[in-house]
Structure 1
Amino acid sequence: MKQIRNFCIIAHIDHGKSTLADRLLEHTHTIGEREMMNQVLDDMDLEREKGITIKSKAIQMEYVVDKIGYTFNLIDTPGHVDFSYEVSRALAACEGALLLVDATQGIQAQTISNLYLAIENNLEIIPVINKIDMDGAMIPEVKDQIIDLIGCKEEDILLASGKSGIGIEEILHAIVARIPSPTGDEKAPLQALIFDSVFNSFRGIIAYFRVYNGTIKKGDKIKFINTGEEYYADEVGKLGIGMIPTKEVKAGDVGYIITGIKNAKEVKVGDTITLPANPGTSIKGFEEVKPMVFAGIFPVVTEDFEELRDCMEKLQLNDASLTFELETSQALGFGFRCGFLGLLHMEIIQERLEREFNQTVITTVPNVSFIAYTTRNEKITVNNPGQMPETTKLDRIEEPFIRAQIITQADYTGNILTLCLGKRGILINQTYLTQTRVELTFEMPLTEIVFDFYDKLKSQTRGYASFDYTPLDYRASDIVKMDILLNNEKVDALSALIHRSRSQDFGRKLCEKLKELLPRQQFQIAIQAAIGAKIISRENISAMRKDVTAKCYGGDISRKRKLLEKQKEGKKRMRQIGNVEVPQEAFLAVLKLDD
């Protein structure tokens, strides 16, 4: 065990984690030149296309220092705020972390939040300045920022370039010298923490774990403590570029186990594996994930519901931060109310359902979770507009607030203040980190940042602002439910919970957008936005009209009038029985109202 080092790489998005991981794999000859490609650990097409890491990846490397062979277990983590749950799980399986900072951008908001996560887990931090060979590198300034942040000595900071391979040797030596080897007892009762799992259609569920105490061998009878289920270990092994079967995995190591489980509900990330013959105690896993954004996901064809349920369960195995429960809608039939960590997370889930499982789905308007109190003082959690109590029974409603931390260049402070105060934000603190970099702290309603806040922040600051948030509490607010009516029929999938000050503007924009998107019928369609019984906006789609008088030329006007009256009667009857089909674009349009 003295020769094992477990570590992960943490950084803000785009600071070069995956590129540095590529160089470490090359330098330790874990991967040959023929298999080498950029972002070698990002095996999802989506990750390569977007250039971001979505899933943490674990891999084992062998390296020799002073004629002693060491085993490195590296976990590459995502940098985007929406995937911070992946980072927290990776940190629980490590003793140390490489804190990566881009020499051209300095410390960003997500760097700080990931650093605090690492410190909470008592990890040894090795600060690394990356991209030092770029033209805009500000090495002395970034060194000062790191020293201010973590209070280390200047000589502790390593300089590297993931692209050209500078400083990789020094990083590997620092991992051996500074990161402590894992503690644990191979002879003690088995305790292994599951930190990730994937579904394989041939072999069932593959669980990745870190062994804290004891040894797990092929063929052992094992038990999952939280679920209480017992299985046989058909195969155990270590994680190289692929899975490498071994006879046993000992304390301090990271490995995988295949037990032939096919049911997704039987494996929980954060569970502890032990041996029923000599049981160990449960390890404190990870905190329960708290979804921030809720949206409904429905199959386009109602018959596909059961298939969609299977796909959601398999996807949840791979992405433990996804939560879902059953939901029904008058407009869309059976589906799921899903909880996501943010809008990017929601977009990724939708894309993965389409690519990996061939599921075409309709997603409803995303919203956050509110708490409503009735006049009888009952407390109701409102995750979708349908759960909102009637206005007559409602006493008050509370919405979630967050603490937003924005780091930017001083020139853009004015733009950010305008944006955040316009989103009902309250400025709490403004600190100058250096002469040109400022940290702004706001308290804001989560509802306001769900839709387009991140995009607007990037465009207002030309991409130079970084943003991170933590949940605070619930506060009383004037939230109303806005319904959309088509010919006096409510379309429940387009309902939204919104602050009263925004409702008029939002309702008007939505009605205009629907007027563009809904196909014309042979009868007039009235599109209305309403709060309770009060209509706040209306648009009309005029009927497609056949020219029934075309065949009458000249002659008596009463003949034409008779034909027009007959047409009018037909349209009236058609309007009573005709229903308005809402295309999928209309549901997506709500997300992009500001475009």
Structure 2
Amino acid sequence: MKNIRNFCIIAHIDHGKSTLADRLLEFTKTVQVTGGQMLDNMDLEKERGITIKSHAIQMEHEYKGEKYVLNLIDTPGHVDFSYEVSRSIAACEGALLIVDATQGVQAQTISNLYMAIDHDLEIIPIVNKCDMDSAMPEEVEDEIIDLLGCERSEIIRASGKTGLGVEEILSAVIERVPHPVGDEEAPLQALIFDSVYNTFRGVIAYFKIVNGVLRSGDEVKFFNTGKEYEADEIGVLKMDLSPRKELRTGDVGYIISGIKTSKEVKVGDTITHIDRPCSKAISGFEEVKPMVFAGVYPIDASDFEDLRSSLEKLQLNDASLTFQPESSLALGFGFRCGFLGLLHMEIIQERLDREFDMDVITTVPNVSYRIYDKQGGMTEVHNPGGMPEPTLIERIEEPFISASIITDTSFIGPIMTLCLGKRGELEKQNYISGNRVEIQFKMPLGEIVIDFYDKLKSISKGYASFDYHQDSYRPSKLVKLDILLNGESVDALSTLTHVDNAYDMGRRMCEKLKELIPRQQFDIAIQAAIGAKIIARETIKAVRKDVTAKCYGGDISRKRKLLEKQKKGKKRMKQIGNVEVPQKAFLAVLKLD
């Protein structure tokens, strides 16, 4: 056990984690690196250049004549996938904190760092991209010293591109990161930190053994679900799965036990033996809290069950996704899904399309509200379609959050303006170190759902970390904004919004839909309404066919007759014609600004 090191790589998005991981794999001769980012194996990750999933891999390295086994987990840097990071940290004893020499310490660096410190991980600070002309390693080292309180000599300068400092990093991992501590004689306790679905082999769970020994063919059970299995195959994670006869305390590996249904594996569960179970599950795993709710519907109603199984398989691989069935008048049966943010929602939609061939429509995202009626009863509404009549409502309460934003002092002004514009209330601000400040706000969750993150990132040039927890529910003046097409309400486009924003939002939605809905043979009226009151309208003009073209000469009444005939046809068409709202329109409503 003393020759095992488990460590993960944490950093802000785009600071070069995956490239540096490639150099480590190359240096330890684990794999011949052919293209860039060997660990990012999803097409989506390669296209967007971001890490979406954590990837675990085992390396072997000889140091001072001894052989060491290094288990590396490469984690995502985007805030929408921070749940992946928290799970990876739970399976490690050390973390490489990577900071870009051209950009300095950034938002997610700080959030991920605090998460690692909470789990008592040994932090090894690394300044990456030192080979670039715009690098400022001294200034960045000062920032890291401020943040961590470490010595300058502890910081390693490296470059993922040229391979500078890779050997130093491996030596630091072996010398500074503690080896796993556990009792091999104790009952088996293994923490599941990830899982994937394989069409041929069922569910494959990834785990780290905290106590005890697991051998191939053992009878095991999952602590929280109570389900029992036989360990058909266990092994370690190289570039592919590589089977082993036994895994001991401190090892990170995988187990295949022919599990067919994805519900039976919970990330964060504990694996133990049936004949000699452990007394309690491993703790320290927080529940995920979705920020954004949106309806996901199959385009073809008969695909409902396929969509359910696709979401279940996706949930195995991405434990931060939550879903429950719901139905809508316009779209039929579907699911109300909870996501961690808009990028997360977009990625899930892409993955459904690519990995499972599911064509889906996503509705406007929102949060859950509490509605009190005149009799004093309370209902929780996740979907504007489930709202009772306005005359029956006593008051509506919306969830408020305590938000803390860590940023550079030069961005305080624009960030304050943004938060106050979102109905936020400033609670306090305190200066952390040098020119960094923490601002605390109370604000409605509904306001941050759609575009708050994106705006915060752009006005602070990416240098603002945002963390929040739910605080309480407060009464609010909210109204339901309906969108009508030819007098018919489209429930998938209706939203709950604050009275002050309703007119502006209604007008913008109508204008946007006018651009996106294709023209028909008849006029389409797009209206925004609050209750029975229309607050905005746009008309999409009909595509006209010139029926009088073939009518030469003669009296005007001949043309009149043809036009009257056309008018009747258009009127009938309007009554039976239905307006298709393209998927682009649902998405565009999110990005109204």
- What TM-score results when the alignment is normalised by the length of structure 2? 0.93
Cα RMSD over matched residues?
2.3
Change (3 A) 1:153 1:534: same
Range with bigger deviation, 123-132 or 77-86: 123-132
Structure 2 Cα separation of the partners of residues 381 and 19 of structure 1: 46
Change (3 A) 1:574 1:191: same
Partner deviation per Cα, 1:488-544 (whole Å, 9 max, x = no partner):
211111111222211111111111122222233343322111112221111122344
Paired residues of 1:408 and 1:464 also in contact (CA < 8 A): no
Name the residue aligned to 1:117: 115
Paired residues of 2:111 and 2:465 also in contact (CA < 8 A): no
Letter in 1 for 2:580: E
Structure 1 Cα separation of the partners of residues 42 and 553 of structure 2: 71
Name the residue aligned to 1:585: 584
Give the alignment of 1:327-476 within 5 angstroms. 327-394=326-393, 395-408=395-408, 410=410, 412-429=411-428, 440-461=439-460, 463-474=461-472, 475-476=474-475
Deviation at 1:153, TM superposition (A): 2.7
Name the residue aligned to 2:239: 241
Letter in 2 for 1:47: E
Structure 2 Cα separation of the partners of residues 522 and 382 of structure 1: 38
Structure 2 Cα separation of the partners of residues 319 and 147 of structure 1: 34
Name the residue aligned to 1:490: 489
Name the residue aligned to 2:99: 101
Structure 2 Cα separation of the partners of residues 406 and 485 of structure 1: 42
Structure 2 Cα separation of the partners of residues 592 and 141 of structure 1: 37
Give the alignment of 1:50-69 within 5 angstroms. 50-69=48-67
Letter in 2 for 1:591: L
Does residue 296 of the first structure (1) align with residue 295 of the second (2)? yes
Give the alignment of 1:527-566 within 5 angstroms. 527-547=526-546, 564-566=563-565
SS in 1 for 2:285: coil
Paired residues of 1:295 and 1:337 also in contact (CA < 8 A): yes
Change (3 A) 1:243 1:511: same
Paired residues of 2:523 and 2:540 also in contact (CA < 8 A): yes
Deviation at 1:418, TM superposition (A): 3.5
Structure 2 Cα separation of the partners of residues 409 and 74 of structure 1: 36
Does residue 284 of the first structure (1) align with residue 264 of the second (2)? no
Change (3 A) 1:464 1:303: closer
Does residue 181 of the first structure (1) align with residue 179 of the second (2)? yes
Structure 2 Cα separation of the partners of residues 14 and 566 of structure 1: 63
Deviation at 1:86, TM superposition (A): 0.3
Paired residues of 2:400 and 2:442 also in contact (CA < 8 A): no
- What TM-score results when the alignment is normalised by the length of structure 1? 0.93
Partner deviation per Cα, 1:249-277 (whole Å, 9 max, x = no partner):
11111110011112111111111111111
Change (3 A) 1:549 1:146: closer
Structure 2 Cα separation of the partners of residues 435 and 71 of structure 1: 40
Range with bigger deviation, 583-592 or 527-536: 583-592
Name the residue aligned to 2:501: 502
Deviation at 1:562, TM superposition (A): 5.3
Range with bigger deviation, 298-307 or 131-140: 131-140
- Segments of 5+ residues of structure 1 without an aligned counterpart are none
Structure 1 Cα separation of the partners of residues 481 and 321 of structure 2: 27
Name the residue aligned to 2:258: 260
Structure 2 Cα separation of the partners of residues 142 and 542 of structure 1: 58
Deviation at 1:60, TM superposition (A): 1.0
- Segments of 5+ residues of structure 2 without an aligned counterpart are none
SS in 2 for 1:392: helix
Name the residue aligned to 1:223: 221
Partner deviation per Cα, 1:298-321 (whole Å, 9 max, x = no partner):
111112222222211111111111
Identity %: 67
Deviation at 1:158, TM superposition (A): 2.4
Deviation at 1:453, TM superposition (A): 3.3
Structure 2 Cα separation of the partners of residues 548 and 46 of structure 1: 50
Name the residue aligned to 2:6: 6
Range with bigger deviation, 78-87 or 13-22: 13-22
Structure 1 Cα separation of the partners of residues 441 and 102 of structure 2: 26
Paired residues of 2:406 and 2:436 also in contact (CA < 8 A): no
Partner deviation per Cα, 1:50-75 (whole Å, 9 max, x = no partner):
11111011111112222222111111
Paired residues of 1:404 and 1:441 also in contact (CA < 8 A): yes
Name the residue aligned to 2:21: 21
Range with bigger deviation, 585-594 or 480-489: 585-594
Name the residue aligned to 1:518: 517
Paired residues of 2:110 and 2:465 also in contact (CA < 8 A): no
Structure 1 Cα separation of the partners of residues 516 and 134 of structure 2: 46
Range with bigger deviation, 132-141 or 494-503: 132-141
Range with bigger deviation, 352-361 or 341-350: 352-361
Deviation at 1:380, TM superposition (A): 3.0
Change (3 A) 1:574 1:454: same
Change (3 A) 1:141 1:202: same
Instruction: Give the number of equivalent residue pairs.
Output: 590
Change (3 A) 1:153 1:530: same
Structure 2 Cα separation of the partners of residues 369 and 170 of structure 1: 50
Structure 1 Cα separation of the partners of residues 203 and 382 of structure 2: 31
